[in-house]
Amino acid sequence: MSESSSMVRATGLSKGFGAGLTRVEVIQELDLEVATGEMVAVVGPSGVGKSTLLHLIGLLDRPELGRIVLDGVQTDDLEPDARAELRNCDIGFVFQHHHLLEELDALDNVALPVRIAGEKGRVARDRAAGLLDAVGLSDRASHFPDQLSGGEQQRVSVARALAMRPKLLLADEPTGNLDSANAERLFQLVTELHLKAGLTSIIVTHNEEMARRCDRIFRLARRADLSENVRKI
Amino acid sequence: MSLSAELHVASRYLVGTRRWTPVVTVTLISLFGLGLGVFALVVTLALLDGFQSGIRSQIVAHASHAEIWPAAGRRIEEPEKLASLLQGALGDVEIVQMVRGTCLVSSDTDAVPASVIGRSDTDRVTVDRILSRRLGVASGDRVEVISARQRLTPMGPLPVRIRTEIARISTPEPGAESGEVVLPIERAQRLLWGERVIEAIELREKADPWTLGQRARKVLDEAGVAVRVAGLEELHRPLLTALALEKIMIFVAVGLMLVVAALNLLCNVAMVAAEKRKDLAVMAGLGFSPSSLRRLFLVLGLSIGLVGSVAGAVLGSGLAFVLDRTGALELPQGVFMVTAVPFSIDPMTVGLVVAVALGLAALAAWLPARMVARREPSEGLRYE
Ligand SMILES: Nc1ncnc2c1ncn2[C@@H]1O[C@H](COP(=O)(O)OP(=O)(O)OP(=O)(O)O)[C@@H](O)[C@H]1O
Ligand SMILES: [Mg+2]
């Protein structure tokens, strides 16, 4: 894979939390490369560090070691404001829990990234209305998050992630809290938008069946488990 | 830079909310605290200004607005030329020529040393109450004023003296200790000098008493007249300095209320930051830069500050205005120059109070904002 065609290139990533006795090493020397246009599923047991990895790639957190290059941009040395701008313009994030802002209705939630980019309220709301339409929620625009079902909330969250027409979509268990019908619907929506918008997507999921429908599966395992497996063999 | 997102979110947090959230409660408390501080400061300073402007207008009403003395020696050379120069340049000023000295004033029963002042704007003899008490005289009585200057008579040298009727008893200046006699200038000149000498000139003006001294000094300097000029500020420097100092001290002391209100605002903003931690992390995730986050808090703090301090200022000024107009707070008769507590609203002072309140509010919002902006977004995202 040539450098120009890779959207994400993470090399030697390490990230742990805490210090001393309470220290946990979550990600150690991890390499991940995702080609432009690719849809990658990240799977692994709970607590293995899937969210942590996605946060690192989404510039929501900084690795302790290693480098992350997004679409050719070396991100580790960037100032916080520059990282924020990348998050705003180039990365769409669907959080593990939808994380919509309670005080804003669906439309304003979707419009928020556009406002953050400095657009006028009208422009932002127009754009948001189009996106809500795309996720099939144009009739719920003025509903607040607590007036929406879990599936609807997650769809609003997907619309918000796509509001700035990002290059990279990061979705952390977007179907996690949904029943299978709704999960299927949301996954189809994401796949559809991925293709339509020419996105590069990384999707964390526990659902093996959905993972198989992605271009590639990236499996995360605990270091301890790995070495155990090796020993058994 | 566009504030669109910051303003939008801040406005939703503060007013657009659908439920009674803790953010709304703490906001109202902060508003109340800040408003109360500004209110108290505005009312207190209006009260102070009321009394102080009473004192200042008393000064303007009773004292001279500028005084001129010779730069060297005791007499002013060519006083008439100086007077016409001033009148030509300054227009409608009242010019009073003066001589001063000390004489012995005696009644039938006693003799007391007293200051003698000759003024060109009077043709009557006035004795102040200190002297009239010491001598046991009242208006209409006769006294003798005896100078230290001597005159040769057939009986040898004798002090110059005049006998005169007292036309009026005046109230002495606050703090005056020795008695005072005011005479028509010709009679005083005869007593003290024996010739037409002018020792000082007093100026008074209706239009702009506080700058008269400066303007007179400029005119005389340009004409090259060697005299010293003192304006109102200089003539009453100790009193005016005391008044200014009093205002500053009260401002600082009552202003501490604003500091307390700002500390309360700080706690409340910090509470909002904790309460909205997840939201803030989400916003950071969506591309809010650290500086935008800081601005969001600044907008929150400043809008609380603005609403609170403007409300406090309006209510405070309104109360001061009403109390001043209606004279609702009556004072004991005869103790003060005024019958009710006076209030005077100085827009500059009110503006300064509001500016200080806003500054403190910005500072109070800034400190928690810095804390929030330093965190990585993921820190707030972990738990639902
Ligand atoms: N801020 C933190 N402080 C301490 N430990 C943390 C922190 N963030 C994550 N961890 C730990 O890191 C490990 C990985 O967490 P992460 O959320 O990435 O797991 P995950 O793979 O997303 O799990 P799940 O499938 O349940 O969402 C967990 O053991 C978690 O306790
Ligand atoms: Mg997770």
Residue A129 at interface with chain B, using a CB cutoff of 8 Å: no
Domain CATH for A127: 3.40.50.300
The tokens of B158 are what? 């004798």
**Pocket (CB within 6 angstroms of ligand 1):** A 17-18, 24, 26, 44, 46-52, 96; B 382
For residue A69, give its domain range.
3-232
Q: Per-residue pLDDT averaged across B231-254, rounded? A: 90
Identify whether the C-beta of residue A160 lies closer than 8 Å to the C-beta of residue A132.
no
Cβ within 8 Å, pair A103-B12: yes
pLDDT reading at A231 higher than 50: no
Per-residue pLDDT tens digits for B8-28: 888 877 776 666 777 788 888
Q: Which tokens is A207 given?
A: 């659902």
Question: Is any Cβ of chain B less than 8 angstroms from the Cβ of A197?
Answer: no
Weakest-pLDDT range from A151-160, B265-274, B312-321: B265-274
Q: Which of A96-100, A208-212, B249-253 comes out lowest in average pLDDT?
A: A96-100
A6 phi, psi to nearest 5 deg: -105, 130
Name the minimum distance, in Å, from the CA of B384 to any CA of chain A. 7
Q: Is residue A230 over pLDDT 60?
A: no
Is residue B242 very low, low, confident or very high in pLDDT (cuts 50, 70, 90)? very high
As a whole number, the mean pLDDT across chain A is 86
* B8: contact with A, CB 8 A cutoff: yes
Q: What is the mean pLDDT of residues A74-81?
A: 88
Backbone φ, ψ for residue A98 (5° rounding): -50, -35
Which range, of A141-150, B117-126, B375-384, averages the lowest pLDDT? B375-384
3-state SS, residue B329: coil
B171 touches chain A (CB under 8 A): no
Which of A23, A22, A5 is CA-nearest to residue A14?
A: A23
Q: Per-residue confidence at B3, pLDDT binned at 50, 70, 90?
A: low
Residue B293: enclosing H or E segment and its boundaries?
A: helix B290-326
CA distance linking residue B359 with residue B362, whole number of Å? 5
Q: Could you report the per-residue pLDDT of B143-188, keeping only the tens digit for each?
A: 999 998 888 888 888 899 899 999 999 888 777 788 899 999 999 9
Q: In chain B, which residues have their Cβ closer than 8 Å to the Cβ of A164? A: 287
Comparing CA positions, the residue from B16, B34, B18, B5 lying closest to residue B269 is B34
Residue B201 falls in which region: left (phi positive, over 0), alpha (psi -120 to 50) or beta: beta
Confidence at residue B81, expressed as pLDDT on a 0 to 100 scale: 87
Grouping H, G, I as helix, E, B as strand and the rest as coil, residue B368 is helix
Minimum-distance ligand to the CA of A45? 1
pLDDT of residue A174: 87
Query: What local confidence, expressed as pLDDT, does residue B337 receive?
Result: 66
Query: Integer distance in angstroms from the first to the last C-alpha of chain B?
Result: 32
Buried b (16+ CB within 10 A) or exposed e, B278-307: bbbbbbbbbbbbbbbbbbbbbbbbbbbbeb
Residue B383 has pLDDT above 70, yes or no: no
Whether residues B5 and A99 touch (CB distance < 8 A) is answered with: no
Are B320 and B42 spatial neighbours (Cβ–Cβ below 8 Å)? yes
Q: Tell me the shortest Cα–Cα distance from B2 to chain A, in angstroms.
A: 5
Is B154 exposed, middle or buried (CB count within 10 Å of its CB: 0-12, 13-18, 19+)?
A: exposed
pLDDT of residue A1: 44
Q: Is the pLDDT confidence value at A39 over 70?
A: yes
Residues of B in contact with A116 (CB under 8 A): 5, 283, 286-288, 292
Helices (H) and strands (E) in chain A, counts: 8, 9
Q: Which pLDDT band, with edges at 50, 70 and 90, does B310 fall under?
A: very high
* Overall number of domains in chain A: 1
Answer whether A88 touches B (CB < 8 Å).
Answer: yes
Using the predicted structure, report yes or no on whether residue B354 has a pLDDT greater than 90: yes
Which mutation among A50, A173, A204, A208 tests ligand 1's pocket best, with the greatest number of atoms within 8 A of CB?
A50
pLDDT of B316: 93
Pocket test residue of A17, A56, A61, A203 for ligand 1, highest count of atoms within 8 A of CB: A17
Average pLDDT over every residue of B52-56: 87
Evaluate if residue B333 carries a pLDDT over 90: no
Looking at residue B168, what is its pLDDT? 92
- ipTM of the complex in this document: 0.87
Per mean pLDDT, which range of A54-68, A214-228, B220-234 is the poorest? Answer: A214-228
Tell me what percent of the residues of chain B surpass a pLDDT of 70.
96
Beta bridge partners of A43: A219
Compute the distance from residue B154 Cα to the ligand 2 centre, in Å. Answer: 125
Token reading at A146: 């607590």
Q: Which ligand is located closest to the Cα atom of residue A30? A: 1
The pLDDT value recorded for residue A233 is: 37
Contacting residues of A for B285, CB less than 8 Å apart: 58, 60, 87, 93, 95, 99
pLDDT in tens, B196-241: 899 999 999 888 888 988 998 898 888 888 889 999 888 888 888 9
For range B252-276, the mean pLDDT? 88
Average pLDDT, chain B: 87
Cα(B21)–Cα(A144) distance, rounded to whole angstroms? Answer: 15
User: What per-residue confidence (pLDDT) applies to B300?
Assistant: 84
Nearest chain B residue to A87 by CA distance is: B287
